[in-house]
Amino acid sequence: MSQILVVVGSLRRESFNRQLAEALVKLAPSDVTFKFAEIADLPLYNQDDDANQAEPVKRLKAAISASDGVLFVTPEYNRSVPGVLKNAIDHASRPYGQSAWAGKPAGVIGASIGSIGSALAQQHLRNILAYLDMPTLGQPEAFIHVKDGLFTEDGQVGEGSREFLQGWMDAFLAWVSKHVSKHG
């Protein structure tokens, strides 16, 4: 049984990435539990506050610590990760030496209305996660191009992408399990 923290890099009400995250959760076996990180109420990161982190920051760090792995689902903003996602990552990486991310296995996936499906944002995110010492699933990569039919009306992955995304989710969960059994 694993507990996965899902971090969605968009705050938009109708976010495709949130829909993707919610559809991915439905592809997992029932013994895997998911929690969605709340990042909308985090203050802007300010190093002056490291010794006195705000409650939402403490809450995020506790959620990361309680998880076996982290699933990042991100859009691409101007060829990189959205600021809200970077803000959350920076908060939980501090104070220096007390990063909540260190050692947590991660998966990176994302969707975009653009044809490269958030590939460059994902690549930037991989650099950040490498620095944070998060072992990150390398393959399969998943750059999801949002088109009609990607999701069904009831929020499942549409037929055209289901096999691929099922394979991605299976690989991600196996990655987390491998890491948990090695270190847990």
Give the footprint of ligand FNR on this chain (CB under 6 A). Answer: 10, 12, 15-17, 75-79, 112-114
| Beta-carbon contacts of residue 2 (< 8 Å; ≥ 6 apart) | 31, 32, 33, 68, 69, 173, 176, 177, 180
Q: To the nearest whole angstrom, how small is the minimum distance from the Cβ of residue 38 to ligand FNR?
A: 16
Least Å distance between CB 6 and ligand FNR? Answer: 13
Question: Which CB, 36 or 170, lies closer to ligand FNR?
Answer: 36
Which residues are within 8 A (CB) of 54 and not within 5 positions of it... i.e. 6 or more apart? 42, 43
Contact status, residue 110 vs residue 116, Cβ threshold 8 Å: no
Q: Which is nearer to ligand FNR, 68 or 76 (CB)?
A: 76
Helix (H) or strand (E) holding 104: none
Q: Which is nearer to ligand FNR, 114 or 158 (CB)?
A: 114
Q: Nearest to residue 146, comparing CAs of 23, 4, 7?
A: 23
Instruction: Pick between residue 12 and residue 178 the one whose CB is nearest to ligand FNR.
Output: 12
Compute the least distance from the CB of residue 40 to ligand FNR, in Å: 13
Q: How far is the CB of 140 from ligand FNR (least distance, A)?
A: 20
CA distance 6 to 85: 12
